[in-house]
Structures are given as structure tokens and as C-alpha cells.
Amino acid sequence: MGRKVGAEYLKNDTCQFTVWSPLAEKVEVVLKDRNEPVSLIKDTQGYWEAEVPEVPPGSLYKIRLDEEDEFPDPASRSQPEGVHSWSQVINHYSHDWQDQGHESRNLEDMVIYELHVGTFTSEGTFEGIIEKLPHLEELGVNTLEIMPIAQFPGDRNWGYDGVYPYAAQDSYGGATGLKKLIEVCHQMGFSILLDVVYNHMGPEGNYLSQFGPYFTDKYHTPWGSAINLDDKYSDHVRNFFIQNAIMWLEEFHFDGLRLDAVHEIIDRGARHFLKELSEEVDALEKKTGKHYVLIAESDLNDNRLVTDYSKGGYGLEGQWIDDFHHAVHTLLTGEDAGYYQDYGKAEYLAKTFEQGFIYDGIYSKFRKRRVGNSPKGIAKNKFVACIQNHDQVGNRVLGERLGQLITFEEQKLAAGTLLTSPFVPLLFMGEEFGETNPFRYFISHGDPELVKAVQEGRKREFEYFDQKAEEFPDPQSKKTFEESRPNWNFKEDQSKNTLFEMYKLLLKMKKEGAFHLFGAEDTQTKFDEENKVLQVTASDKETTLMGIYNFGKMPFRATFSEEKKGEILIASADKIWLGEEEFPKERIQKTEVPAKSFMIIKI
């Protein structure tokens, strides 16, 4: 299972320190409450280690390199005083886990809810999330996905600037608060996933390069030099991140990981890092008897991610499909700047319903090249789809959610398109009640030059979207962060509460299998490009299921069959959902689907 790194508390106030620094001549542990440093012993692979007595949990320490500079531990489990200060020894074995009855959940059975710990509640902590679990239980989601929590500078950040991947953010409640959250989630029947970042490290407090060749100039990512996964010494860099994944799953009891932007995990070796990670997690499954889920975010539309090892794939359980989001978003908003120019057709929504990827080797106007490969043969429930997520909302100039961009009728249409689709649904916090507060990009860096660079860099990012930045929210401002919290008084607003009730019903129907036929390989689609209407039809021996999604401005007349009549399972334009129509309860042969609405019919 590889080599553990960092400070591992054993027992009787004894701690095992392991640091990888292959080029150092001397490595010592400096304990804050001791006068003399403790020398570590080097092995042939560049690991320095020693078992040190009289180191109780809570002890603060740093790592001294070559009798000169002192740094926090790269594999620190706790940074109570921030990214530049002392690391802390914690006892992972002190928590008496009470989640033994929790059963692993397959990806295909998940309804995922993405949230940001710092803004999800007014407390902005792991334990603060616990009070909202009854809301999520009522909604019908069964899986939480929390945005990255690796220790970052300050107390406000999306999490993608983390620099201590083994340390749970101290301002969120650290390891103790995180374990309480996971335990309560499991006791209530929720699965919980963690978003992890193995493609780059944040800039402030990042001392990895002081310890060894963690990065390589062979490749560059949008964040600078790439993580070293296939250059000299890369075996041990790979081990550093794989052991991190194993720690979150084994020691913290996470049910799986969401792997950020894997297209920037650059590895040209024969055994790709993602495959090695997947195989190591398989070995952990055998060890623990538990099932874990690995979900990749990728903009490559590469079927290898979720293809079996035997067919040359990496064996991950699932991947995000941005194509679905972009197809729905552009039909609803009409936006066509940036990468949205590649979408906006009812034909494309039909294609993603059929197979997940739209770009399966076809030419992209935005990228000016062909993109993707064929997903043929891949089960649709290996794809995770959404109509909102942190990126698609927060990477807008003003961080507008769909609730700010489209009408109430269109919000219901968007929800229906997602939740009746054959994919694993992911909701973004507040989406279920049409939240209109923005979700913006925010930081709390301590370096003024870095803050300035981030501010200017964010403005440049929006240029290809033709979005003007006169009202550009300052990422460093606390106000930008505070404005990104959902408003939990949604039940006082009739339309927001109605949308919430629709989400509840759709999720209940989905879990009961009402829309499972749409997952069949032979699902048929028809589209009317001029009127922006999509029809989806699937059948088994006994039943035909039809979905009609009208993104256009005119009603759409639908006829089912001359021999059989159909039952309307749900229609978003019905008065029960604050629409203007009253649809018949009896079985019918034809109906009209109003503009900006969807209808599901069982024939």
C-alpha cells in the first residue's frame, strides 16, 4: 500500500516522523517545546524517519533542512496557526467511530449535493453542516460532496489553493470537526465524498519544492510547473498523493473522492497516475471490505477514465460531463460566448441524453480542434451531470446562479431535464430552492503582491466571455465571501418553496425508478431545432416512457399513440407547480406542452 509520510502518532506519547527529502544532507524535527532538534535517519529512497518518544498529541513541530531553514511538514495533519507556522501532531486513533452500520453506496445510486463548507452555513464549519442534514434528508439527496478542505491561507477560499493536502482546514474545525460530520452523515444514511486536488498546489505556504522535486518543468499547467508524476524521483511524489487519498478514505471514512481537473494531471508513463490510484483504492477495498467511489472531473471527454483496466482504461467509477451542463445552460440563457459557442442546439441536448458526450471526436469551434472520443458501451450512470456547480457559477464575473439568469418556469424546466436524465445528478447548494444569492470566487491571501496578481488574473479570465469587469467583485474582500452564502429562509417565498417541493418529488420518483428507462442504450430522441424542443422515448416490453422538454417560446403539441393512451407523471406547467395549466388526470392520447416547461408521460 505504499509508504506513509508525515507525523503518525503511535501510542504512549510516541510519534513516527517520516519526511521525503532525497537531496537533503540532514533533516531534523524541531519540536516547539524542546531545546534540541531530533535528527531523522535517511534510507536509500530519500525518506528520513525516526520514532520519537515524549511527543503527545497536540505537539507543535517543524522540519529543519540541512541545519538551516525550518518549514511546516509537507504531510502535516494539522496547521492550527496557518500555512506558514507550526505543524501539529494529532492522534487519528482517538476518535471512537460510531458508524459501523453504514453501508457503501454505488455511484449509480447516488444523488450528490455539492457544498462549500465556509459558505454553506453561517458558522462556516464542518459541524455547522450537521444542522442542515435534515433539510438534505427531506430533499432526497443521499450523498454530500464537499469542496476541497486541504489547509489554505487565511480562512476564506474555494479550497483549490490548498497547500497541505493532509490537513483539514483548521478554521473549518480541523480533523476533529470533520470526523464528527462524517460520522453523523453515516449515522443518517448519507454517503460523503471529498473533492481533492492532485493537479497543482496553491501558491502561498507551498514549501514542497524545498523538500524535493515535487514539480517538473517538463510540463506546465494553468497554475505553473506541473506536479512531477513521470520525471526523476516521481515514484515518491506519486506515493505522496496516493497515500493522501488512502488517508481520507481509510482514516476519515470518506466514501469516495472527486478528482479535480484530471486533464491537468500530466503523466506520460506506461501506468498513468489515475490507474495506479484506482488500483491502490481497489486494494484498500479488499483490506477494509468497503466500497469507494472515484469520480474524475475532465474536459477531455476521454472514455479511458471509466473504462475497465482490461480494456486499457483507468477503472474510475465515474466522471463529470460538462457537455450536459453546457447544452442545458445555453438553451436556457442563449449565451454563446467562450466555450458556450460550441452548444446552444436542441440537437446537442438530444445527443447528450443518448450517450453523455456531445464532443465525441467532433470539431469544436471554441478549441479549433476535434475533442473527445466515443462513449459507446459506457453505462450512462457512470456520468455525473449537473445544471449548476461551483465552477459554472463562480467562474462568472458576478457569480450569478441560474436563479438570477432565468425565469421560474425555466428553473423548473432545468430541474426536470437534470433529474429525469439517465445520469447521476449533482446539485449545487441552494439550487433546490432557486437560490439567487451569487456564489463568487474568494480568497484571503496574506501576500499583497499575490492578492494583486489574483485580482488581475481573474479579470483576464473573463475576457473570452466578453464579460465586462467594471463591477468585478474583489476576491480578497470579506464582503465577496459573505454574499456567497445561501439564504435559508426560502420557505417564506412561495416560488422557491414550490421549486423545492418539485425537486423533492422528482428525486423521489427517480429513486423509485420512474425514469430508469431513459438509461437504456436504445433510448430514442427527436428534436425540433427551430422550436427548441426535445423528445426522449424509451420502452421495455410493458411500458413506454416519453419526456418532452420545451425550451422554446411556443407550445408543443404531442401525440403519443393511436392505440394507447398515456398518463402524465409530472408536468412543470401544472398549477400545482404555480404554472398556468390544469392537465387531465385521466389517460390521454395527445397533449400540449407549454413553452419553457417539461412533461413526462408513461404510455
Which positions are annotated as active-site residues?
260, 297
CA angle 82, 87, 92 (to 5 degrees): 115
Q: Which amino acid is it at 389?
A: N
Helices (H) and strands (E) in the chain, counts: 15, 30
Phi-psi label, residue 578: left if phi above 0, alpha if psi -120 to 50, beta otherwise:
left
| Distance from the Cα of residue 287 to its chain's centroid | 26
| DSSP bridge partners of 303 | none
Going by C-alpha positions, the residue among 485, 501, 499 that lies closest to residue 433 is 499
DSSP string computed for 501-518 = HHHHHHHHHHHTTTTGGG
Sign of the Cα torsion 167, 295, 233, 228 reads negative
Contact at 8 Å (CB) between 397 and 462?
yes
Question: Quick one: angle between helices 408-419 and 322-333, nearest 10?
Answer: 160
Spell out the alpha helix ranges (H) of 260-321: 273-288
CA angle 361, 386, 525 (to 5 degrees): 55
Contact at 8 Å (CB) between 513 and 535?
no
Which residues touch 431 (CB under 8 Å, ≥6 apart)? 387, 388, 401, 402, 403
Q: For residues 602 and 13, what is the distance between their CA atoms, to the nearest angstrom?
A: 65
- Cα radius of gyration (the chain): 25
Contact at 8 Å (CB) between 118 and 272?
no
